[in-house]
Structure 1
Amino acid sequence: MKKSGDEILLSAGDLSNHIACGHLTSLNLAALKGTIKLPDYRDPMLAILQERGLEFETAYLEKLKEQVLQVVEPGTDDDQAALQRTITAMQQGADIIYQASLKSGSWLGRADFLMKVDRTSSLGSWSYEPVDSKLARETRTGTILQLCLYSKMVADIQGVIPEFMHVITPEDQFTKHSYRLDDFLAYYRLIQHGLEQAITNANGTITTYPDPCPHCDICNWWQSCDARRRTDDHLSLVAGLSNAHATEIKKWNIETLEGFAGLALPLTVKPTRGAVETFERLHGQARVQLEARKSAQPIYEYLDMLEGKGFFKLPAPSDGDVFFDFEADPFAGTSGLEYLFGWLVNDEAKKYNCIWALNPTDEKAAFETFVDMIMARWKKYPDFHIYHYTPYEPAALKRLMGKHATWENEIDQMLRANLFVDLYGVTKQALRAGIETYSLKELEKFHQFEREVELRNAASQLRALETFIERNNTIDIPDETRVIVQTYNKEDCLSTQNLRGWLESLRDQLLQQGNTISRPEAGDGTAGESVTEHQERIQPIYEVLMKDVPADPLERTSVQQAQWLLANMLDWYRREKKAMWWEYFRLRDLPDSELIEEKVAVAGLRFTGQRKDEKKSVIDLYTFPVQETDIRAGDKLKAGNGDSFGEVIGINAVSGEISIKKGPSIKDVHPVSVFKHTDVPDKEKEESIIRIATWVGENGMASPGQYQAGRDLLMNLPPRTKVAFNNTGNAQTNAVAWGNVLDSGVLPIQGPPGSGKSHTAAEIILSLIRAGKKVGITALSHKVITELMHKVIKAGIEKGVPVKCMRKVSAPSDSPDPHILEEKDNDKAAAAIKGALVNVLGGTPWLWSRQGMENSVDVLFVDEAGQLSLIDTVAVSQAATNMVLLGDPQQLKQPLQGSHPEGTEVSAL
């Protein structure tokens, strides 16, 4: 945002700022008009992020130059001159225009890159599409809005709107994510109009309020906004109170912490959104904070003691106890880096230990060393526990075991034995403190812990060190920086130990007052029999596949990389299953007041008394307060305590009603909260991977024979064909011809929505049917399978080719298609395709990965393969001699819950 005479010129950054915080727009406009001064504060993290972004952008520019592309740099010295040079470069057909200067009306823009594409425009046989380089691994709304603005500006110059816009992200060095402009233009126009209206209406006066938002973390106005909220005693000062809560409370004509704390209990108002219990909990927090403020003393009070919560989660202290803390950089590499493992032991030595890990190789070694230490300590002190603050540490260990595919059994043992003790959870469930945030640092005033390193200094040194890591320049990290970061980590460990001591002293006081507080039961970490058998079964296969495979991916051949991928797929489904159960236990352990914030849950249930009988079951109607939920009809539910609790028959989130079908044994059970939980069996797919891996271990990855298509996919080989194939001319004609000459290979057909992939696939399938071939279709959903079948049937009718289709279903359709047979039985479906009773069979990956489906079809079509995981695609590959993969690589991948070794978590495309 800047002025040119009396005109206010806007930029792409103003769009991003406005969607992040409307108050920021008001402040920037007032500063521009001179009614307020710009803040002196400059967030150091923002400067570092900008510097990192520029380095990434420059690295991508160098890569483009290495490709011998014509790169034009219009320069940034003068807006008008740079704009003219950009237009000239576009007219001359430059391959890449770097830092392209653009203008449209009162809007200015500088696109990181304009990329030349083969699409006719007023310029000639070419046109341009904008490209933005971003360090974030997920494309944010602000980035999309910026690219929409650049696209409209480019359209003004070339006379045609770009079809796509692109984001370059760091994974695999430089990964391009493409987005269809038409999908976002309406939203862009809405936000652009909103910003222009806000500027017109404000006229330099500030009418907005500085409600806290995520952008505050990097905003230069943060200090002034925070000061305003404190002056106003704003509701956001209450720990745990969100903007949505504040909006609700303001409806009661209360706008301050003190006003909220002064309300009488029980609350007589009924919230329009959220449960009364939630607001009563927040009211208690506000009251304690107000008491602490008035007394200028650390104030706390005990919460109601509930079995399994708060003090009940504190195990007996042991000489072997460990207090643990990570330092991590989420921006390092492609998956972040845990660069400092720090822990304090509780025995006589009371020694602080740490391991630095400044690259992925060292991270793996540090992880293994730490786990070795824990296992040895467990053996020496069977009653020990690992204390940490917030769930981050065990979550990071789970990620590391999946990322590096090592020490998985040991981490599983620790989790099963409940070795990890989260003191954040203990504190939040045990007491209410007069503090604005329940951070480790805020709690130190209660247990009188004093730090050597000032937190502001520690934060700046952490940022500096992480910058060195991200630049792969760790050798130049100053000794002072290392010392300060290590001391900061040590003090976090000491503070955690001190906090545990304080909580134990409070527990002792409660016991002396006559309360009964039991210790949590210890587990031995022993795995179930099925887990042990699985590990014993796959370990020899894993060792054979990994023999002679280099640890460094850059040193592997394509065959060795394929073996590495397949070896690490052997335990892939169990990793997913573990993550699913971890989430189940997390939800089970949440109090009802926190479950209401989870989209997979519904809290505040009240049974209406309305009931319908259905055979031996009942359907009960419940009401609930307005809340965001992803629960839908058909979802299987668990009660808040984790017990099974029926199936959703119907839900209306607007009226707050949910109908639940329950069995006779729980018909009189009425929990306050429920959450959805589905345990989807993956046995068939896992067994398919084991069969393929066993064959490869015995015969070799690149040998002729079974499972060729799946092995080619892992080796990333081009399609095998029976005859030499010339891929020139019409793409669809070539695809049809190519599909008919595949020789145990994989043919990918990629493209964005609307590019004709399904039509091309239907033509290939029709030609295969003419040749007497058997065809399979699979995808993540039955809907996608059915849609492709409809296209095949339609093409067959138009061209006079009889098509006999069957779909494997779990239950018959309410309105079945007369052209598509339906079969519930897997064996009968397999017999139908093998016996040529049908020539096209559709089913999800659970069908095609079954034993007995091997080589059942000549060609298997995987639709929306950009969404299907690589491992599922390999699992279904056993069913076909050849595979055709259809999809858009930019589609959202199949949702995963677990962490997996890099390369095994990707989609088929």
Structure 2
Amino acid sequence: MSERLLTPSKITAWLGCSHYLTLNSRVEAGQMSVSPTVFNSLAEILVDKGNEHEARCLDDYEALGKSIYQVPGRNRAESFTEWVARVGDPTTLGYDVIYQMPFVHESIRGIADFLVRVDAADGYAHYEPVDAKLTRSRAKPGHVLQLCFYAEAMEALSGLAPREMHIWLGSGTTQALRVEEFLPYWRRLRRRLGDLFAEDVTASATRPRPCESCEYCEFHDHCERQWREEDSLAFVANSRQSEREALEDAGVRTVVALSRRRAPVARLRDEKLSRLTRQAALQVASRGTPSAPPAYEVIEPGEDPVYGHGFELLPAPDHGDVFFDFEGDPFWTAQHELMFLAGLYYRDEGGEWSFDARWAHSLAEQQTMMSGLVDFFSRRRSQYPGMHVYHYNHTERSTIERLMRDAPDENLFASLVDSGLFVDLFTIAKNAVRVGTESYGLKHLEHLVDFERTGGIEQGAGAVVEYEQWMASGDDRLLEDIAAYNRDDVRSTMALRDWLVAQRPDDLAWRDAVIEREDYELDTDELVERLHHFAPESPEHLLGDLLNYWRRERSADVTPKFVALNGDYTTLYDNLDYLTNLSFLRMEEPTGRERLPKMILTWPEQAIDRSLGAKDEVLYAGVGVPYGRATIADIDFERRELTLRWGRVQEEHGGVPAVLTQDRYFRPGAKAGALKDLARQVLEPAHHGAPSRLALALLEARRPRFTPGHGPRGGVFDDDLDSIYSWVAHLDESYVAIQGPPGTGKTYSGSHIIRHLVDQGLRVGVLAMSHGAIDNLMRATLDVVARDGGVTDLRALRWMDAPHERLDAVTYSKKKDDLADGRFNLIGATAWLWASPEMRQFPVDVLVVDEAGQLSLADAVASSGGARNMLLLGDPLQLAQVAKAEHPGRAGASLLEHVLGEHVTIPRDQGVFISETWRMHPDVCDFISRQIYEGRLTSHASCQRQSTQFGTGLRWLRAHHVGRTTHSPEEVEVVLEQISAMIATPWTNQRGDRVALRPQDFMVVAPYNDQVRLIAEACQRRADLRGVQVGTVDKFQGREAPVVFFTMTTSSADDMPRGPEFLFSRHRLNVAVSRARCLAYLVCTEELLNSPARDIDDMRLISTLNAFVEFASAPSESLTPGASIV
């Protein structure tokens, strides 16, 4: 491969568009040229601000007193390689910082902004790359790939490998990334680049596809011309890339051809094809009269609950209506964007239409603007109960929501949103009418409503450029131009609303002016505001952030569900979270002891989450029903029949569900009350009593505190049980975390510690996210007491009514008297009990939190009132807390994540890390330790004895299939053939016993229930495979097997039904692989390993999978004909 300048934009562009590399290669080969004016005004602004940011970073290093070596620049006559040779190795000069260091490595070249000397505590002195980027909150994939290149080149140059690499963000902070977590992704990508350049890239048959990089790509005009010449399907409004590919595969390659298509198309449902052909036909019809308004038609309502029902989402016009639009500068400073103008159009007190321009030229003014808007909307709704705020697309509402997060009026704004105050005309328009335009953007629909603009600015990007010019010049005429442009936007929005009202059928009912939703407790606003007067890093401020934790979680869960339920249901067929295109079968009257009628529905063939079951709550939408709630009475997946309890509430909603999704929501109840009581104690201890010292310790993430004369020897914790016994009973209103990686005996340690505490006369509680985890730890404790003794009088209570499985010697009760008299010295319950006033009045001495990596910090702090001290058992690197919302600060962390802070594993002076696994052979453990646990996890010596005839460690089975989503018969065959080859062959266990492998010695883990069912059924059909353990990851936590298979199932990134964060989860991979005593097999396609990363979280996940393949060793020959073993 010839030398090429490595830049984030080029790498990212290639990852998103393979055609980019083809065109770039043709330019370099002299086969084509690009206009020298490749950058538009916005791109020029970005370049300038990037240079300014880099210069500020250099100034900061100088201000810190760092010695800086500025690499001599490249001479005009010398090549890049000659320049690199002349520069040599400046790391030997001993400077703190090296600026603008050029590299050539593996035929790639690039220039590192900074190399910074790091003198590690262990004496490892080396240089680490730092790049200055405008991105504000976190690095992007292209940035990380560039840093990976510098890290590799650094090691090749100096022989010293950087441990971390850093992005100096536009916000002024740096983001550190572990090199080892990303290098496998980079190495695979580099090999793919090498394969590409081994051929003639200029002759590649790639084609242009619209992507996110188009806006700033130097080839955009070239591709645009090609699309126009070809009459490309890229111009069909509301079409997706996957749909265009399906059409092209069927021979439909132009807009005209699509407008004439009548035959079915593979991989496109008939209703979706019908919509696309009608859209194309209208666009073709509009081409003949470009000066006239575009052709349009009202969409005929059908079974889809939204498409064709847009007019039903339109409320009646009101005298108090407001039309609203923002203008913002995403590049205001390197640190911040700025919404500098809010334009409002409404009738004033005299009844005249008035444009209200509200400016903000600083962050403080922006926050004042947002609070003023919320106040204005609230007061106007009070004055005009039927008024609404109209906007086009979600930006206006979501921007206020984002900027009001963590603000005193957050709950007030949430209540306005939930009441239906904001009306998105984009959603209404695209579901009410089809228009012969290439886009449904507001500027395109203006031709439909015959609206003419008066300002000179043509698009939003022009407003950004003019605002940037105003900041440089101070010429207020520029602000006047922006205001005129914004005034056109809000007037255009009103014109579209009025046009839609005119098209609306006369016999159609208006949408309710106010939508009744759950009432949020607005009394927390005052507490939040007072707590936020404290410093942002203070425990008081964090408590203020936690007060709205459950409201944010509920909103983050339900809002996208409402959007999906009221969106295009044809896009949900492959989404496991939704059951769509439901149709009514019959009603059934209650029989026997039943009290409610039942509605029976059916559905067509589609991907479905088979965890849905009786008693699950669901949200649904249907024709004329924007949303509703119901309970599943029964579901038959084979007959495809769903039975819903259909009571008075559902009957009043009317209609029939057309699409539904599970609603997993439990009201916080006592937990919210506990946090508010704690807030009052923090703010007014004289009136409400002193706050819990344990709660404050958790909020501050303090180091453990002990009574005088106690604590770990030398202040350093170790994992020896006798050592733990010496201090665990002497916590002083504090906590200690015990991090237990897979196979380290966390439950063993926890049960013995509980036995010890009870033996010391202490009252102990057990808390976990699930009842199963609570029962598991209590069962282990009871077994220890029964086997080893030491406790003369163990009295155990489970706070629940009807357990699925009763534990012997445990009382089951929910009588409050049982909590008050101290009769029970071991109590197991979920957070709702520990947060209750009763437990706060009679707290236990030590509350043992199991699976503390899955418990939210909010739940933990709320529960802390029920205990004097806490022992935190868990591992945040296995199954993680399920949090959906974006929370301020540390409010969204799990309990253990909060305690660990920036650490991956707990430091020795802060808690216990159980460092030895009794499960995994060293060949398996080495991968888990290096990739997940910073190299701190080792195998017990006895694990070395474990082996099979097929060796030990990791194996990759390459599968071959396409288009698979949630089930893959090909991978089932691969797995079963491999197991068949291994059954009855010898393996050696931990004791050194040599025995034959049985079916139950194999564990097969799959990400989807469909694949689990397929494997389980296949095993059941074969007598030699009955007994093989099959399930999803969550079913196997705490279990193990000599041989484990992890079948990834999905063919490629394009086929993932739940996104990379689910399929590539490091937590799931950790749990799956670490079940293995001897051998762990990964089964997946090459295409899945090559998945592109949307962000660095994706990159880290995919890189871990790539690392598995790098670790995998090859046996002498393949024993599975349907796959390649690597």
Shorter chain as denominator, the TM-score bin is 0.7 to 0.9
Q: 3-state DSSP class of the match of 1:315?
A: coil
C-alpha distance in 2 between matches for 1:867 and 1:328: 38
C-alpha distance in 2 between matches for 1:794 and 1:103: 63
Matched residue type, 1:879: G
CA contact (8 A) 1:120 1:127 kept: no
Paired position in structure 2 for 1:342: 343
Q: Does 1:681 align with 2:676?
A: no
How do 1:15-54 and structure 2 match up within 5 A? 15-40=11-36, 41-54=38-51
C-alpha distance in 2 between matches for 1:644 and 1:791: 40
CA offsets per residue over residues 745-791 of structure 1, 9 Å max, x none?
A: 3557899x899997999699589748666666656567988999999
C-alpha distance in 1 between matches for 2:330 and 2:639: 41
Paired position in structure 1 for 2:696: 711
Matched residue type, 2:494: Q
Matched residue type, 1:228: Q
Where structure 2 has 5 or more consecutive residues not aligned to the other structure, the ranges are 902-1126
Distance 1:570 1:155, change over 3 A: same
Paired position in structure 2 for 1:603: 580
Paired position in structure 1 for 2:1048: none
C-alpha distance in 2 between matches for 1:885 and 1:492: 55
C-alpha distance in 2 between matches for 1:315 and 1:165: 53
Deviation at 1:62, TM superposition (A): 4.8
Q: TM-score, normalised by structure 1?
A: 0.78
Matched residue type, 2:274: E
Paired position in structure 1 for 2:868: 881
CA contact (8 A) 1:688 1:850 kept: yes
Aligned pair partner of 1:355 in 347, 350, 358: 358
CA contact (8 A) 1:763 1:795 kept: yes
Q: Does 1:277 align with 2:271?
A: yes
Deviation at 1:395, TM superposition (A): 2.9
Distance 1:792 1:275, change over 3 A: farther
CA offsets per residue over residues 26-47 of structure 1, 9 Å max, x none?
A: 1111111111113432244344
Matched residue type, 1:349: E
CA offsets per residue over residues 106-159 of structure 1, 9 Å max, x none?
A: 1224444445556799xx733455444541535443344334333333343454
Q: 3-state DSSP class of the match of 1:358?
A: coil
Paired position in structure 2 for 1:849: 835
Distance 1:664 1:318, change over 3 A: closer
Matched residue type, 1:257: V
Q: 3-state DSSP class of the match of 2:281?
A: helix
Deviation at 1:494, TM superposition (A): 1.2
C-alpha distance in 2 between matches for 1:894 and 1:188: 29
Q: Does 1:639 align with 2:620?
A: yes
Paired position in structure 2 for 1:471: none
Q: Does 1:589 align with 2:566?
A: yes
Q: TM-score, normalised by structure 2?
A: 0.65
Distance 1:150 1:872, change over 3 A: farther
Distance 1:601 1:138, change over 3 A: farther
Q: 3-state DSSP class of the match of 2:203?
A: coil
Q: 3-state DSSP class of the match of 2:328?
A: strand
Aligned pair partner of 2:373 in 370, 373, 377: 370
Matched residue type, 1:745: S
C-alpha distance in 2 between matches for 1:768 and 1:263: 76
How do 1:204-603 and structure 2 match up within 5 A? 204-264=202-262, 268-269=263-264, 271-272=266-267, 274-296=268-290, 297=292, 298-305=294-301, 309-329=309-329, 337-346=338-347, 348-406=351-409, 408-409=411-412, 412-413=415-416, 415-416=418-419, 418-455=420-457, 459-463=461-465, 465=467, 478-507=475-504, 511=506, 516-523=507-514, 534-535=521-522, 538=524, 545=530, 550=533, 556=535, 561-567=538-544, 569-593=546-570, 595-596=572-573, 600-603=577-580
C-alpha distance in 2 between matches for 1:398 and 1:562: 24
Q: 3-state DSSP class of the match of 2:177?
A: strand
Paired position in structure 2 for 1:195: 193
Distance 1:478 1:813, change over 3 A: farther
Matched residue type, 1:679: Y
How do 1:820-859 and structure 2 match up within 5 A? 837-838=825-826, 845-854=831-840, 856-859=843-846
CA offsets per residue over residues 617-654 of structure 1, 9 Å max, x none?
A: 99989664667x778545743333334455599999xx
Paired position in structure 2 for 1:696: 682
CA offsets per residue over residues 338-383 of structure 1, 9 Å max, x none?
A: 3321111145421111111233322232223223333443444444
Moved more, 880-889 or 823-832: 823-832
CA contact (8 A) 1:326 1:342 kept: yes
Deviation at 1:691, TM superposition (A): 2.5
Q: 3-state DSSP class of the match of 2:839?
A: coil
Q: 3-state DSSP class of the match of 1:201?
A: coil
Distance 1:147 1:406, change over 3 A: same
Q: How well do the aligned residues superpose, as a CA RMSD in angstroms? A: 5.2
Distance 1:166 1:663, change over 3 A: farther
C-alpha distance in 2 between matches for 1:384 and 1:765: 62
C-alpha distance in 1 between matches for 2:228 and 2:406: 44
C-alpha distance in 2 between matches for 1:797 and 1:167: 56
CA contact (8 A) 2:748 2:780 kept: no
C-alpha distance in 2 between matches for 1:95 and 1:806: 61
CA contact (8 A) 1:823 1:829 kept: no
CA contact (8 A) 2:681 2:689 kept: no
C-alpha distance in 1 between matches for 2:784 and 2:157: 42
Moved more, 391-400 or 206-215: 391-400
Distance 1:26 1:784, change over 3 A: farther
Distance 1:349 1:664, change over 3 A: closer
C-alpha distance in 2 between matches for 1:295 and 1:517: 32
How do 1:52-91 and structure 2 match up within 5 A? 52-60=49-57, 62-63=59-60, 72-74=69-71, 77=74, 88-91=89-92
Aligned residues: 858
Deviation at 1:278, TM superposition (A): 1.6
Matched residue type, 2:498: G
Moved more, 380-389 or 769-778: 769-778
Paired position in structure 1 for 2:958: none
CA contact (8 A) 1:166 1:178 kept: yes
Distance 1:542 1:403, change over 3 A: closer
Deviation at 1:580, TM superposition (A): 4.3
Distance 1:371 1:541, change over 3 A: closer
Deviation at 1:490, TM superposition (A): 1.4
Matched residue type, 1:419: L
CA contact (8 A) 1:74 1:85 kept: no
Q: 3-state DSSP class of the match of 2:427?
A: helix
Deviation at 1:290, TM superposition (A): 1.1
CA contact (8 A) 1:465 1:477 kept: no
Matched residue type, 1:271: A
CA contact (8 A) 1:618 1:661 kept: yes
CA offsets per residue over residues 52-103 of structure 1, 9 Å max, x none?
A: 4454455455555555555555465375587579874545665555544433
Deviation at 1:213, TM superposition (A): 1.2
Paired position in structure 1 for 2:1031: none
Deviation at 1:443, TM superposition (A): 0.7
Q: Does 1:722 align with 2:722?
A: no
Moved more, 79-88 or 445-454: 79-88
